[in-house]
């Protein structure tokens, strides 16, 4: 096995019989945890894919906010008015992340869940900076047709950081997307030979199978 690095894992994982497979699974979650914690990390902005009402694939880049290995859970944020909310809520979600430095590609399968209210959402909203919350002040939903290009932000906050009072209307437009991970396809690209492994979650346990790269 040719693991280039093994950062600390966020959360505890059950042990697999094959130590190399265990190392690959831990590495996958560690890279995701680093991606969530570090803005410049390669896995900070993975690609998420869902399916439109017409059955067509729809992809977008999103910011990874949290990766909890023990819960097999990814967290991202979204405008509650966005069309992707309908595409991803309680439906299959596919996540693609790649770290060129580690030469690791992760193809992740899971089920999405949108949360608009509750203690968790309120706490996450409160922790966000005023500047981060500003985008949820947009007056129209994402994807709305415009006559001219623009951010859609109110003129008083365009180019400025809003204060708490100005941000009150933004809260209704904020939601979190949780991805309950059910499978991870781990691929390591190496000159001396690639390695690939598929992990599937069964309850709280993981099973693993080596695959031809």
Q: Which pLDDT belongs to residue 9?
A: 52
Beta bridge partners of 76: 64, 177
Residue 89 to residue 36: CA distance in whole angstroms: 21
For CA atoms 112, 212, 99, 38, give the dihedral sign: positive
Q: What is the pTM of this model?
A: 0.91
Please enumerate in sequence order all residues whose Cβ is within 8 A of that of 106, keeping only pairs 6 or more positions apart, or say none. 28, 31, 32, 43, 95, 96, 97, 98, 184, 185, 186, 187
Q: Which pLDDT belongs to residue 5?
A: 42
For CA atoms 56, 85, 185, 35, give the dihedral sign: positive
Q: Which pLDDT belongs to residue 13?
A: 81
DSSP assignment of 104-167 equals EEEEEEEEEEEE-SSHHHHHHHHHS-HHHHGGGG-SS-TT---SS------TTTTTS---TTTT
Please enumerate in sequence order all residues whose Cβ is within 8 A of that of 36, keeping only pairs 6 or more positions apart, or say none. 10, 44, 64, 65, 66, 67, 74, 75
For the chain, give me the number of helices (H) and strands (E)?
Answer: 4, 9
Q: Which pLDDT belongs to residue 159?
A: 87
CB 136 within 8 Å of CB 171: yes
Low-confidence ranges of the chain (pLDDT < 70): 1-11, 17
Q: Which pLDDT belongs to residue 71?
A: 96
Give the DSSP H/E element, type plus range, for residue 200: strand 195-202
Q: Please tell me the total number of residues recorded for the chain in this structure.
A: 213
Q: Which pLDDT belongs to residue 4?
A: 40
The full set of domains in the chain, from first to last, is 19-129+174-211 (2.30.110.10)
Could you tell me the CA-to-CA distances from 165 to 79, 130, 137, 184 in Å, in that order?
Answer: 19, 10, 12, 42
Residue 172 to residue 185: CA distance in whole angstroms: 36
CB 108 within 8 Å of CB 183: yes
Beta bridge partners of 180: 73, 111
């Amino acid at each position: 096995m040719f693991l280039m690095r093994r950062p600390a894992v966020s959360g505890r994982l059950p042990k697999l019989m094959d130590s190399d497979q265990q190392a690959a699974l831990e590495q996958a979650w560690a890279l995701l945890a680093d991606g969530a914690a570090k803005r410049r990390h390669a896995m900070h902005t993975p690609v998420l894919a869902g399916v439109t009402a017409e059955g067509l694939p729809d992809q977008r880049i999103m910011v990874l906010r949290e990766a909890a290995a023990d819960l097999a859970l990814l967290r991202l944020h979204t405008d509650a008015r966005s069309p992707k909310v309908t595409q991803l809520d309680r439906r299959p979600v596919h996540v693609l992340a790649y770290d060129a430095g580690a030469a690791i590609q992760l193809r992740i399968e899971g089920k999405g869940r949108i949360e608009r209210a509750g203690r968790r959402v309120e706490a996450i909203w409160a922790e966000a900076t005023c500047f981060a919350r500003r985008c949820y002040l947009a007056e129209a939903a994402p994807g709305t047709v415009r006559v001219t290009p623009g951010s859609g932000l109110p003129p008083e906050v365009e180019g400025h950081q809003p204060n708490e009072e100005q941000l009150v209307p933004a809260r209704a437009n904020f939601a979190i997307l949780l991805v309950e991970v059910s499978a991870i396809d781990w691929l390591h690209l190496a000159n001396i030979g690639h390695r690939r492994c598929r992990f599937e979650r069964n309850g709280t346990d993981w099973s693993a199978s080596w695959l031809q790269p």
